[in-house]
Homo-oligomer: A and B are copies of this chain.
């Protein structure tokens, strides 16, 4: 499988996002199950786990399960002024059931809008405190006339379970690469669906590889509580075995590339992320640990410290559409999703093929008699030969392929075939690290 096989990958991913779009996901509930079952269609080995409400996860407790069937507000004429069916952002996440008549003044205490972004419906939740509310665009809010309103939320919050998906793709080694994304937001594009659809495509690609050095642990889980639950079940094993990994989030728009470091900032995941993005988009944005906002908060917490970094496109918090109805299926694009996919695929390529080569000759080898060097010396620069010579000059048994790629300022995906050619010509050998 090479990059040419992924010619329609952007369209395929965007199609999957479109299918997952209307499902009302939250921390728990049937929307998460439905989403995982759709992902399982292309990842048949995906295992779906249920964790009972009330289960402890370090300092946290799995909350009751929330499901919602319908919700609306009608005016005195019985006309629906807000309807959950039209956009599942309209209801505050984890809203308790309600059936009330309220004056507009009373109602406004339960309505959320963004005055400075008047066409956007905000995304709001209240997971751990009982509450109900509706979200709407500020334009909609302004159009509401004084009078009485009938407010109905058909929801239930009760003992149930938290649901997550896990896929293990075995490699030659027990050492693992952890790829994690979240499935807990209702209809949003970049800050929800881009993650699962890109990770779905990556998992298919990884499964298709003929040989894999590392084992891949791929998880789809609700943010924060999901990663805490997962860590509480596997922490010791993960600390021993995870050598790299990424939290996959906000990988679907085509406006930017972003790197958010692990807390440590110097892990293999960080080194690779910076290498890949530098050669994929020299203008990529470098954020710091202080800009974090997703599951790296748990994966890199003190006492956990897994080597998990983030490669994104427009990062959460940093784009105005974030956590609103404007982060939609137009905000993410096939091209944007493909770019997210390619960057992560390149990162995995770097991690998988990070050999430590050593030159077998003392002094430079004579490339000419092996047909690797032009026999006529002119002044013209010979770019490929130059890269090969630069590469060999660092094959001293102390630099791996990523380090050499950085030293000679070439992408790993240009250096890897040169490495292979030199290996064929018996000019280098691989040493154990």
Contact = CB atoms under 8 A, between A and B. Distances in A.
What is the predominant secondary structure among interface residues of chain A facing chain B? loop
A228 B363 contact: yes
Contacts of A125: 376-377
B304 A362 contact: yes
Interface stretch (A100-108, A241-249, A295-303): A295-303
Given A228-B363, A301-B359, A408-B290, A124 B58 contact: no
B364 A129 contact: no
Interface string A371-405: 00001111100000000011011111100000000
A428 to B, nearest CB: 10
A249 B339 CA distance: 47
Interface in A408-422: 408-409
A112 interface: yes
B378 A124 contact: yes
B131 A364 contact: no
Contacts of A365: 59
Contacts of A322: 379
* Interface size bracket, A side: 35 or more
A57 B361 CA distance: 10
Given A361-B59, A368-B129, A297 B393 contact: yes
A323 B302 CA distance: 53
Contact of A377 (B124, B263, B361): B124
Contact of A368 (B122, B128, B392, B395): B128
Given A302-B393, A376-B131, A60 B122 contact: no
A178 to B, nearest CB: 15
A143 interface: no
Most buried by B among A322, A362, A409: A362
Given A359-B302, A390-B290, A397-B302, A126 B364 contact: no
A21 interface: no
Nearest to A357: B302
A265 to B, nearest CB: 10
A360 to B, nearest CB: 9
Interface in A280-308: 289-290, 292, 297-298, 300-305
Contact of A363 (B60, B129, B323, B392): B60
A128 B370 CA distance: 12
A169 interface: no
B362 A231 contact: yes
A203 interface: no
A235 B302 contact: no
Contact of A298 (B302, B324, B364, B376): B364
A122 B379 CA distance: 8
A375 B301 contact: no
A369 interface: yes
B364 A297 contact: yes
B263 A376 contact: no
20 contacts: A57-B363, A92-B376, A112-B378, A114-B379, A124-B377, A126-B375, A126-B376, A129-B375, A129-B376, A131-B376, A228-B364, A231-B363, A232-B363, A300-B393, A301-B363, A301-B364, A302-B394, A302-B396, A302-B397, A322-B379
Given A131-B375, A303-B363, A303-B396, 17 more contacts: A59-B362, A60-B363, A124-B376, A124-B377, A125-B376, A125-B377, A126-B375, A231-B363, A232-B362, A290-B409, A292-B393, A298-B364, A301-B364, A301-B393, A302-B359, A302-B394, A303-B359
